[in-house]
A and B are shown apart, each in its own frame.
Chain A
Amino acid sequence: MSLPQAHQSTLAWRQANRAKAVPGRTIVMTVRRCEGPGKLGWFESFKIPVEPNENVISCLQKIAANPVTADGKETTPVVWDSGCLEEVCGACTMVINGTVRQSCSCLIDEYAPEEGDEITLEPMSKFPVIRDLWVDRARLFNSLKRVRGWVPIDSTAALGPGPKEDQATQSTRYAISECMSCGCCLEACPQFLLEGDEDAWDSAFIGAHAIAQARLFNLHGTGKNLAPERLDELMGPGGVADCGNAQNCVKVCPKGVPLTESIGAMGRGVTMHAVTRFFKGK
């Protein structure tokens, strides 16, 4: 998988492409199809006349309304996962021209400004394909259980406010809490590999997103009561030591979650935790 070119994220690059987008053009969308788990995949191309401000989703919607390939063959609508279409739910993540990202925020004027430009869509490769571009990310949510990603409140009874918090801590926590569990960081990570066997999930590399979530809750006044359990998990197999420091995760994160910073912080936390445990003899 390729990482995004630095210039592709700049507003200037995007505005320049928008400015040269040819009105009334037709683009080619090439999609990796797959009928189901274990089936072989193949590519299909579609010619799509585009209007200004279209995105990958609106093109897929056009294919659904008229599922005919570029060479005139009738086919089935492409299956894909989507939700909010404004890059806050994480559902529509896929690999676009070799780079993982959300398809809703992938604008045609920026990615395919000229007549005949091609956009290639593939499913994420680190999760089992359900059909076409839709993958099963259950393992990602399982990781949130592994790090006990919650604040252990007593109950929902009215017990007054939570702990006061300073602005700096809120700001750090908020940045991590914007993680929408999309899986970009996992797709880009050389240490995180496709694992179809659910029994292996709890010992395979947990991934940057979950390590950051452990930090999110360890930074909270009440959440930190579970810090020892979280650090135990990150000390074990598939924990923070499995990170190979490639730093791809932070380059592809659409929300700018401080992933490598969090891995660093949790790495130090695990070391301290190990030392403490050694001296406590347990």
Chain B
Amino acid sequence: MSDQRVIVVGGGLAGLAASVRVAEAGIAVDLFSMVPVKRSHSVCAQGGINACNEVARQQGYSEYQHFDETLYGGDFLADQGPVLEMTAWAPKVIDLLDRMGVPFNRTAEGFRDLRLFGGSLFKRTHFAGATTGQQLLYALDEQTRRFESEGKVTKYEFWEFLAPVLDDNGKCVGIVAQDMRTMQIRSFRADAVVMATGGNGLVFGQSTNSVICTGGAASRCYQHGAWYGNAEMIQVHPTAIPGADKCRLMSESARGEGGRVWVPKDKADARKPADIPEGERWYFLEERYPDYGNLVPRDIATREIFDVCVNDHMGIGGGNMVYLDLSHMDPDYLTNKLGGILEIYEKFAGEDPRHTPMKIFPAVHYTMGGMWTTYTEGSYTPDAPAPEHKPGNAIPVAPTAGIGMTHGAPNNMMTNIEGLYAFGEVNFAYHGATRLGANALLSCIFDGLFNGLSVANAVQHTDRPASDVPQSVYDAASDREQDKHEAFIATAGNHSGENAYVIAREMGVEMTAASTVVKTGPRLEKCLAKLDELSERYSRVKLSDTATWTNQSLSFTRATGDMLILAEAIARAGLLRQESRGSHYRTDFPDRDDARFWKTSVSRFNPATGKADVTFEPVRAPLVKPRPRTYGKTAPEPAKKTAQPVGS
């Protein structure tokens, strides 16, 4: 049918890939974004994108090994079919990006160059300098612009998503959005809606995320009945530059290219780092993890840095900083491979990392949890789950299309709400309890390309087109949002009101303290009480701007309320998951507990209480058997011993 349309919300890698794929299938796309899509948060991704490649393959690597690594990295929390399909498809994603003109770094012979990344012993990460996310986003932005110039994609930039529109049967048939300049609120009709709105770093205040990454859009879907999976799984990146407005990412590729993490063995050592001899440096990651060294997965590196700084007070000058050191390497090599991030460090920290070790500390980075999604199983159905896959062993299944998920099945990456899909970081599908570095770009683009077809199929085969839905459904939805808007404007006269920026700041501090690197039950309960207090204060919020034109204060204030609701789900799911798994580390429950918690936490918004009802549902895991996730850690005792001479 010619009048069918698909709405894509979010113009990062997942949203653009979805737009291209759906438009290519001949269905009109309306693309909504709070920013010009070329400025989406995907630009911040630095290190690269993983895929099996011919060089690694000849050393014993395989798509299946990538699959196994991703599950192991995620501590077996991910549903397994989508991960199998994503890793099997990964080489095709790289080829396509290559055809789109991404300037991947090249070998002397002109092939795509590769680098090491966390959680793997093989070079399987493709990259364009240290601005890979930017380069991939631009390639998809360019293809989208091409479709736009042909009239197949219509962009709504500077439009903010406010709510999904649901028909009487609970099917998603459009959205309500607001023009951030004119403040016009209106509803839009669609046969399917793809949410591709990324992560929620701003819930934690200072993170590596862009200012738009509030999680507001996901929260609005959650409040309209979309389930939220593994909310507690938040990635804290080990290496970022702390800052007053945000923490700036220092890519894992710095370690992939040879960067080493260390602190002085003597915490009172006040010498410049270059003056500290090799023997007086403590390379604690290399010592504790002889196999993976500096390239252990992020949650592990983060906890070790945290342990060294916070528990042992061994950070630089006794503070919360460690060195990330590239100064032993050739400056020209570094500029070629890592120029983009070295420039960021130099601009913001005022020192040249080619010659002076960088000072870094962990920061909130990625949202593994997200909108709950389903899928149709693929063709690979082993009799029993496979054990660990060793490099070079025969692979249990060849990487053909459709082994993990059925290609084009209408429910792939659909939420529990019919017609509402979630692609990329905003879903919970691929990364379990920890995301491996350079798997995010892959999951975003894979979702758009592979599951874009599912959206197209669902739309083309529906017997209930959105054009049959009465206009009154849309009017009622936009009226509800208009009423909320008016209510916010009306708070401006309230002189004793609360400031949303202050509430958001307190929420960020609390969430970072209680619900990131180290969690405990009592601390999370305190956090929930604090969120209650903030929600109560939020009910008395006062807008500092009553303008009816380009009112950013209103947009932020509204998002703050949505962030509080999402924060509650994050903290509550963390409280109820009484185990440690991947990024979720509970000192009161330090071990993984497969019997009770090898399960997805599913948060359902309860409109009566305004809070999450959390249940634990089985992981769909018929392919690989879970195993302990150690990354070959050596006993901690010798490590501590080496550190002893210091100060004592």
Contacts and interface: CB of A to CB of B under 8 A. Distances in A.
B464 interface: no
B36 interface: yes
A223 B143 CA distance: 12
Interface in A130-169: 130-131, 134, 137, 141, 144-145, 148-153, 155-156, 158-162, 164-167
What 6 pairs between A and B have smallest CB-CB spacing? Answer: A162-B98, A150-B142, A131-B550, A65-B501, A164-B110, A58-B245
Contact of A91 (B35, B139, B142, B499): B35
A18 interface: yes
Contact of B248 (A14, A18, A58, A86): A86
30 contacts: A14-B350, A35-B547, A55-B245, A58-B244, A64-B501, A65-B499, A66-B499, A85-B246, A85-B248, A88-B44, A88-B131, A88-B344, A105-B348, A107-B350, A131-B549, A145-B148, A148-B146, A150-B100, A153-B99, A156-B20, A156-B449, A164-B110, A164-B111, A170-B105, A174-B103, A174-B129, A178-B340, A180-B43, A181-B36, A181-B38
Interface in A11-52: 11, 14-15, 18, 35-36, 51
Interface string A165-187: 11100110110011011000000
A158 B545 CA distance: 51
A160 to B, nearest CB: 6
Contact of B108 (A11, A53, A167): A167
A44 B109 CA distance: 58
Contacts, number: 201
A51 B211 contact: no
A241 interface: no
B110 A15 contact: no
B305 interface: no
A255 B149 CA distance: 28
Nearest to B104: A170
Contacts of A54: 244-245
Interface residues of A, number: 70
B560 to A, nearest CB: 12
Interface of B: 20-21, 24, 35-36, 38-41, 43-44, 92, 94-96, 98-101, 103-112, 128-129, 131, 134-135, 138-139, 142-143, 145-146, 148-149, 181, 210-212, 242-246, 248-249, 336, 340, 344, 346-348, 350-352, 449, 499, 501-502, 505, 544-545, 547, 549-550, 552-553, 556
A161 B145 contact: no
Contact of A86 (B44, B545, B550): B44
Contacts of A35: 547, 549
Contacts of A14: 350
B501 to A, nearest CB: 4
A166 B110 contact: yes
A173 B103 contact: yes
A102 B44 CA distance: 15
Contacts of A77: 544-545, 552-553
A89 B21 CA distance: 24
Contact of A144 (B24, B145, B340): B145
Contacts of A89: 35, 39-41, 43-44, 210
A258 interface: no
Given A141-B36, A150-B143, A65 B99 contact: no
A130 B100 CA distance: 34
B101 A82 contact: no
A146 B242 CA distance: 41
A127 B104 CA distance: 33
A83 B211 contact: yes
Interface in A173-222: 173-174, 177-178, 180-181, 217, 220, 222
A118 interface: no
A84 interface: yes
A274 interface: no
B350 A15 contact: yes
Nearest to A105: B347
A170 B103 contact: yes
Contact of A90 (B39, B99, B502): B39
A150 B140 CA distance: 9
Given A86-B348, A173-B103, A150 B43 contact: no
Contacts of A217: 101
A79 interface: yes
A62 B301 CA distance: 33
B96 to A, nearest CB: 6
Contacts of B545: 67, 76-77
Contact of A177 (B109, B138, B148): B138
B95 A158 contact: yes
Contacts of B108: 167
Contacts of A149: 142, 145
A174 B134 CA distance: 11
Contacts of B244: 51, 53-55, 58
B361 to A, nearest CB: 13
Best-surrounded residue of A164, A178, A181 (most CB of chain B within 10 A): A178
Contacts of A110: 350
A149 B144 CA distance: 11
A65 B449 CA distance: 41
Nearest to B38: A181
Contacts of B94: 161
Given A150-B143, A152-B146, A88 B134 contact: yes
Contact of A36 (B107, B109, B243, B550): B550
